[in-house]
Amino acid sequence: MIVFGGTGDLSMRKLLPALYHSDRDGRLAPGSRVIALSRGGLTDAGFRGKVEAEVRPGLHADDAEGWERFLGRLRHVSLDVGGPRRDGWTALTHLLAGREDTARIFYLASPPATFGPFCRGVHDAGLVTPRSRVVLEKPLGRDLAGARRINDEVGAIFGEHQIFRIDHYLGKETVQNLLVLRFANAFLEPIWNSLWIDHVQITVAESVGTPGRRGYYDQAGALRDMVQNHLLQLLCLVAMEPPSRNDRESIRDEKLKVLQALRPITGTEADRFTVRGQYVAGEAGPGYLDEPDQTAPTTASHRVETFTAVRAEVKNWRWAGVPFYLRTGKRMPYRRSEIVVQFKDVPHSIFPGGGPNRLVLRLQPGEGIHLHIMAKEPGAGEVVPRPVPLSLSFADTFRTRVPEAYERLLMDVLAGNPTLFMRRDEVEAAWSWIDPIAATWEAAGTAPDPYPAGTSGPAAAHEMLGRSGRAWHEED
Ligand code: BG6
């Protein structure tokens, strides 16, 4: 595996830990190597020292022998992709010589603008073999045109079957379990539609802010950083039709149909169906503009959203009229990702009180599935229904280590299985829906609504649901 951006944040926080765990579980072939590419002039020993200092402490790597074996797999090559010097390419070519028959993964953990030049460089150095694959990290561009350009550039060198566009949410256990829940159980399918479901909520709330990420985040914002990929992928898995097979194309075909059925939000509709927020100083810390960073805030910093809520609609037979509320934000009061499917009220209630059933799929923390049903509280007196959860906690039920999303996905790349990766048409369909929203916001040229750090977004996000008598699911 050749990781471009090999000493960066993603590599150190996610990729190397995932590879270490895979190695410890015996899932890396003997002789496998991880070659980090970066501009910093590190030696192999220098890179290993950095990994020892920065990666190992977070791993509980108490198996000294296994850790040494893993370190032994690491190499570093200094490479300046766009620069005039060729010595990095020569060194890489040298390292890969004689291994033309083994799987070769180019992992692009670098800004999207470098994807094209890197692929051309790899090609010009003669390093692309039939068993080569390339992994692209999100975000793929900033809009549809940018995504197409990158897809064209990468596609000029690698075939679509060699391209793995990663969305790490698809590697999360609960997300995969959603497919099993929907398509390996009979009881849900008859009620999984607009006759029985009132609305769906998808929340990815983070308590972290964006210190040190201004350069990237000013350009991305919550809509491009999270909604275009993670939240829309979750929406697809909730809304898709049952595929006829569990294979690479069938699932992606069905997801694509959902993306194509999303009702566009254009012009003034953005005022009613979207909310933008930016955190300001509050209980949980400084505001976005005051986060420590190497660069000072610019006009873009003032306009970028760190929170967004969107009311989406899937215009097809199954979902007509069912709102899908999406929200995500930084510096919210908790870290919680969940999908809430809220059913309709009973047609006629014979009890006082009560409320709708909810199916809560908790992605993190505490992966599990909770079905809120109404039950009678024990005791004499008036019968009053109370919501109680039927709960399945994955940790308690399966008692096995839940692998990190990246671990699962990297093994899929090694196995050449792209089912949990985004196909070109999916990414582009997602951008087609995002672009008009982003364009309306940009044309408005206004700042997002402020919300204090440590709160659950601006009031407008609550009002958006409140207008139809609904509310965000806030219980634990
Ligand atoms: C990344 C985003 O894709 O996902 C980050 O770029 C975000 O801004 C992260 O923090 C969230 O991932 P997770 O797995 O921690 O929920």
> Checking phi first, is residue 457 left (phi over 0); if not, alpha (psi -120 to 50) or beta?
left
Residue located nearest, by CA, to atom 13 of ligand 1: 169
Catalytic residue ranges = 230
User: Measuring CA to CA, which residue among 125, 438, 98, 111 is closest to residue 270?
Assistant: 438
Q: Closest ligand 1 atom, CA of 364?
A: 16
Q: pLDDT tens, position by position, for the chain (476 residues)? A: 999 999 998 999 999 999 999 999 999 999 999 999 999 889 999 999 999 999 999 887 778 999 999 999 999 999 988 777 778 999 999 999 999 899 999 999 998 889 999 999 999 999 999 999 999 999 899 999 999 999 999 999 999 999 999 999 999 988 889 999 999 999 999 999 999 999 999 999 999 999 988 988 999 999 999 999 999 999 999 999 999 999 889 999 999 999 999 999 998 999 999 999 999 999 999 999 999 998 999 999 999 999 999 999 999 999 999 999 999 999 999 999 999 999 999 999 999 888 899 999 999 898 899 999 999 988 888 888 998 999 998 888 888 888 889 999 999 999 999 999 999 999 999 999 999 999 999 999 899 999 999 999 999 999 999 999 999 998 76
- On whether 128 is known to bind a ligand per the annotation, the reply is no
Q: Is the pTM of this model over 0.90?
A: yes
DSSP letter at 160? G
Q: Is the CB of 206 under 6 A from ligand 1?
A: yes
Residue located nearest, by CA, to atom 6 of ligand 1: 225
Q: Is the CB of 407 under 6 A from ligand 1?
A: no
Helix, strand or coil, per DSSP, at residue 62 = coil
Query: C-alpha dihedral over 171, 112, 428, 436, to 10 degrees?
Result: 110
- On whether 50 is known to bind a ligand per the annotation, the reply is no
Helix axes 232-239, 424-444, angle to 10 degrees: 120
> Checking phi first, is residue 126 left (phi over 0); if not, alpha (psi -120 to 50) or beta?
left
Peptide bond between residue 365 and the one before it cis (omega within 30 degrees of 0): yes
Residue 476: per-residue pLDDT:
65
Residue 278: per-residue pLDDT:
98
- On whether 344 is known to bind a ligand per the annotation, the reply is no
Element (H, E) at 119: helix 115-124
